[in-house]
Amino acid sequence: MPQPAGFPAVFRGLAAAFRSLFAVADIECGPMRLLIVEDSEELSELLAKGLQKAGYDSDVLQTLADARIAIAGARYAAVILDLGLPDGDGLTLLRELRQRKDPVPILVLTARSGIGDRVGGLRAGADDYLVKPFAFDELIARLEALLRRPGQMLGRSLGLANLTFDTESREVFIDGKPQTLSAREIAVLELLLRRVNSVVSKKLVEDQIFGLGGDLASNAIEVYIHRLRKQLSERGAKVVIRTVRGVGYLISEEK
Ligand code: CA
């Protein structure tokens, strides 16, 4: 729905809430409208301006309460979510959205750089995260990767060729048949599937594996990727996991 330029985001959020109260259908924000939930005015202004330059309009909100109202009334292409907010933790909102199966892509921005925090974000249903301070180019690159993903990569079931992964039961199927894989292999597979056809950094894979606890050797990532590749190919999955040297890994359909 078009809004006058400069219309304060909070009013847009409230207006959206009123419209949803009257049971009007979802308001289309246009394909590329983003929601920024960030309480640092300096940072959110910078984000909004930078995103505008890159061709994305955004609404800026500072609290979980306002974000809830806005998301209930409007459809955003993606949400950029800070975790430390004045009225609570951004992860709470993330969990609420995923619990009610809202597939909106969410990129978490956080000052928390501990491995537990990063993995916690991914487990709660974040699609990606960036640790502050970050380079703006990286934010745009990550965001574009999220926006490029096909819709089915965001829902409950992730599929590629004859491979399907149910994100709730955490079961893997090949040609519709259930497969037994280890928790770590499944965690890595999920990470790759959520970013199908995009390179997933080695760091992210490492976090995902280490997040499950236990001591791992420094070559553990290679070992898990190797094992996962072997398992998938032996069972006839028509997918390939490629190593992008020095960068990370990418899953795609077998050609
Ligand atoms: Ca904050």
Measured in Å, residue 190 CA sits from the centre of ligand 1 at 29
Residues 243 and 208 occupy one common structural domain? yes
**pTM of the predicted model as reported, rounded to 2 decimal places:** 0.56
3-state secondary structure 25-90: CCEECCCCEEEEECCCHHHHHHHHHHHHHCCCEEEEECCHHHHHHHHHHEECCEEEEECEECCEEH
Specify the pLDDT at position 214: 57
With respect to residue 7, please indicate whether it lies within any of the assigned structural domains: no
With respect to residue 209, please indicate whether it lies within any of the assigned structural domains: yes
Question: pLDDT by residue (tens digit) across 155-199?
Answer: 567 889 999 988 777 889 999 999 999 888 888 898 888 878 788
* End-of-domain residue from the set 121, 147, 173: 147
Give the residue-averaged pLDDT of 132-144: 87
Instruction: Show Cβ contacts of residue 177 under 8 Å, excluding neighbours closer than 6 positions.
Output: none
Task: Please identify which residue in the block is written with the tokens 């606890």.
Answer: 213
Question: pLDDT by residue (tens digit) across 12-59?
Answer: 555 544 444 433 334 444 447 899 999 999 999 999 999 999 888 899
Whether the CB-CB separation of 62 and 38 falls below 8 Å is answered with yes
The type of residue at 233 is: S
Measured in Å, residue 64 CA sits from the centre of ligand 1 at 11
Residues 105 and 162 occupy one common structural domain? no
Domain that holds residue 203: 157-253
Measured in Å, residue 45 CA sits from the centre of ligand 1 at 13
With respect to residue 247, please indicate whether it lies within any of the assigned structural domains: yes
With respect to residue 27, please indicate whether it lies within any of the assigned structural domains: no
Specify the pLDDT at position 156: 64
The type of residue at 4 is: P
With respect to residue 66, please indicate whether it lies within any of the assigned structural domains: yes
Question: pLDDT by residue (tens digit) across 194-251?
Answer: 878 788 888 778 876 766 555 666 677 888 899 999 999 999 999 999 999 888 999 9
> Which residues are placed with Cβ below 5 angstroms of ligand 1, an ion?
39, 82, 84
Question: Which long-range contacts (C-beta less than 8 Å, at least 24 apart) are formed by 132-141?
Answer: 132/43, 134/109, 136/50, 139/47, 139/50, 139/80, 139/107, 140/50, 140/51, 140/54
Widest distance between CA atoms in the chain: 57
Q: Report the percent of the chain where pLDDT is more than 90.
A: 38
With respect to residue 161, please indicate whether it lies within any of the assigned structural domains: yes
